[in-house]
A and B are shown apart, each in its own frame.
Chain A
Amino acid sequence: MTVLSVLAQLSGPPFESLPIDWHALAPEVVLLSVAVLITLVDSIGLERARPLMPGLAGLGLLGALIPVITLAVEGSDRVLFGGAYVVDDLSLLLKAVFLLSGYVIVLLSTNYIAEGDYWEGEYYNLLLFSLLGMVVMASARDLITIFVALELLSIPAYMLAAWRKGDRRSNEAGMKYLLMGVFASAVMLYGMSLVYGVTGTTLLEPIGLIFAEVGTASVITLGVIFVIIGFSFKVSAVPFHTWAPDTYEGAPTPVAAFLAVASKIAGFVALISLIYFGFLGQSDLIEPLLFILATLSMFVGNLIALRQTNIIRMLAYSGVAQAGFMLAPFAVAASDPETSLKAVVTYLVIYAAMNLGAFAVVIALARKTRSGEISSFGGAFQYAPALTVAMSVFLFSLAGIPPLGGWFAKFSVFAAVVNAGTTAGYVMAVIVAVNSVIALYYYAQVAKTMWMDPVPDGDMTPVGVPPSLGWAIVLTAALTLLFGVLPGLLGDVTDSFDLGHLELLAFPG
């Protein structure tokens, strides 16, 4: 008798693994393989491999997009691990957003990281790992998977924020982000443990059914509030936004773009999963809580953004306000679950394109001005007309002017809150409208500086835009215009979401 068979007898019946649907997991597997490959190439090739890194990372992200497309074409929903991991149209759209944003971030980083004295292989490695966490988050329907995905996407981001090692402000950025992020994780984890304590399961689906069934209980209230507060830090909603401006300003600018877009969207994806698949039954709690968060984020973000003189800080506060717009539909989450969910997703997709574009132009212009002050961009139209036009497209899209993408995003949010037909919904619609007007002022102010003001130092040499950066701006500008001119494209995708469960959670019995 062999040792193995003795062991097998001692330990009872043999372990049977669950069958794994490799097609459904292919995007994650590709991403993980490329991240590991980058580490290997970097450690073997050393300095010689440096120029390969951005290309490898970019190709890896596009490569991971292929299985996302094949899964979308094939079309059937795949449920893995007893409901803990779901690959459906909603999660596939979000995965595509993460992978494309990641690709644009790689394009933004290519020259920035190569020209500064940075660790290059490790930079793309951490970027891919962080994106892997986001791609996992898009499918996670289980508290433990959500938490682990959150940590995988956050921890590399803390380190990327401190990537300019010689600069004290970058160190401060990383440290502040780390401390705030860890604190938020702890609060959220405590909330999750309370939710688990009440329901006895980590899967969102049974949690949703139990929450819809039992009504209110103070432990559930506390657990849900803690979990939502944890993710409010991630999406930089007021009053949990204080880290954002300092971190964005100190971090390398492509990393700031990464935090402002990919990382923020990942926080919203987690909120979508938690609220629309788990907490919807607690509507008496969810709706007022998110109403307050959304209102505060819009007003505080916009009012502080008005007074910023640094473009990155202005984009940070505008990001806080944009988070408020994205939180607005959550305030009617239970009254009209389907429309509000689609509005949030629509806003997320368009926000990714327009905000990445704005950061791309800032990176391109800062190559000449070497400054983040808005006044230093004065007269940019005279020496960089194409960049100025692109920036105006992004800024007016962020403000929500038709026919740019941001218009359709704002319209979806507005339609969702009005459509719900509740008093809170109508009040929210007024707040959204007022804030759109406030936001227009500071976006237009930047555009005015770039078109009208004189060039501050009289230096009219044109800006050299490297090909990767130019391609990133063209790509994001094209998408921003496309979503605005043909909003039906995105509408068709969101209409294909299978949301049959929402009625069950929101209106039990």
Chain B
Amino acid sequence: METTFDLPANIAFGVIAVAIIVAAIRVVTTRNIVHAALWLVVVLGGVGAIYILLQAEFVAVVQYLVYIGAIVVLFLFGIMLTRAPLGEMLDLTNRTMRVGAIITAVILVTIMVFSVVDSFRDEEVDFIAYSGDVAAAQTFADLSAEEQETVLDEVAAIGAEGTDLGPVGRTETVSDSIFRDYLIPFEVISALLLAALIGAIVIARRD
């Protein structure tokens, strides 16, 4: 188990990040709404790949199943069923909107990049910090390399028991925390889905 990003992971991250950015720009600039949905597949797929780099396999699989498997397909069905024009739409964006969008995007990106870089500097992703125990992460960072190795072995051994130090991305840890610590949000989401379903039927049906 790696504690920080190594060189191959860094290169992979760079490639994926560029692909996501290019695709994301295409989503909002293409004049064909079906193409926009397909570019979105690339964005969502890239995000899923980053989850895998972060060793969160479960989240990655869910990302692929739900976002690409369900939501984008739903978009395409929605476009078809509402008989939206499938070809190019020239009036989708106009010049003033584009200028506004570019200015907003540049300002927002500058602020976000500045704040992230300013706060984290050259700190590296420390997977143990994701356990939610900041003090433990700090103690861990203060250890020597060999000691860290021993701790990680121990963590890997006891990780299956769902202790606080277990890696968060693992399916078992995810399921345990859903039904233990996050039981209320989980149940609330089921109520939310029922409400959304009932409401959507009322709004969408012809009467």
Among A194-202, A324-332, A374-382, A383-391, the one that faces the other chain is A194-202
B191 and A152 contacting across the interface, CB-CB below 8 Å: yes
Q: Would B132 and A18 count as touching, CB distance under 8 A?
A: no
Question: Nearest Cβ in chain A — how far from B33, in angstroms?
Answer: 17
Distance, CA A17 to CA B179, complexed state (A):
7
Whether A220 contacts B119 in the complex (CB less than 8 A), given A122-B198, A201-B132, comes out as: yes
> Are B119 and A13 neighbours in the complex by a CB distance under 8 Å?
no
Task: Decide yes or no whether A183 CB sits under 8 A from chain B.
Answer: no
Smallest Cβ-Cβ distance to A133: which chain B residue: B188
Complex: chain A residue closest to B159, CB-CB = A12
B95 adjacent to chain A (CB < 8 Å): no
In the complex, the answer to whether B195 meets A218 with C-beta atoms within 8 Å is no
* Contacting residues, chain B, for A20 (C-beta < 8 A): 183
- Using a Cβ–Cβ cut-off of 8 Å, how many residues does chain B contribute to the interface with A? 42
B7 within 8 A of A: no
**Contact residues of B between 156 and 207, Cβ < 8 Å to A:** 160-162, 172, 175-176, 179-185, 188-189, 191-192, 194-196, 198-203, 207
The interface residues of chain B, by DSSP majority, are classed as helix
Restricting to B103-138, which residues have a CB under 8 Å from any CB of A? 111-112, 114-116, 118-120, 129-134, 137
B179: chain A residues within 8 A (beta carbon):
15, 17
Distance, CA A149 to CA B133, complexed state (A) = 25
- Contact pick for B184, options A35, A85, A221, CB 8 Å: A85
Q: Given A126-B198, A217-B119: A222 and B111 within 8 A (CB)?
A: yes
Known: A81-B184, A144-B182, A218-B118. A200 touches B195 (CB 8 A): no
How large, as a class, is the contact surface on chain A?
Answer: 35 or more
- Measured CB to CB, the closest approach of chain B to A171, in angstroms, equals 9
What residues of chain B have their CB less than 8 Å away from a CB belonging to chain A?
A: 111-112, 114-116, 118-120, 129-134, 137, 160-162, 172, 175-176, 179-185, 188-189, 191-192, 194-196, 198-203, 207
Sampled A-B contacts (13; CB under 8 Å) = A18-B183, A39-B198, A132-B191, A133-B192, A144-B185, A152-B189, A155-B195, A156-B196, A159-B199, A160-B199, A165-B207, A200-B134, A219-B116
18 further contact pairs, Cβ within 8 A, besides A198-B119, A217-B119, A220-B119: A119-B202, A122-B199, A125-B195, A126-B199, A145-B182, A145-B185, A145-B188, A148-B189, A152-B188, A155-B195, A159-B199, A160-B199, A162-B203, A165-B203, A200-B137, A210-B134, A219-B115, A222-B115
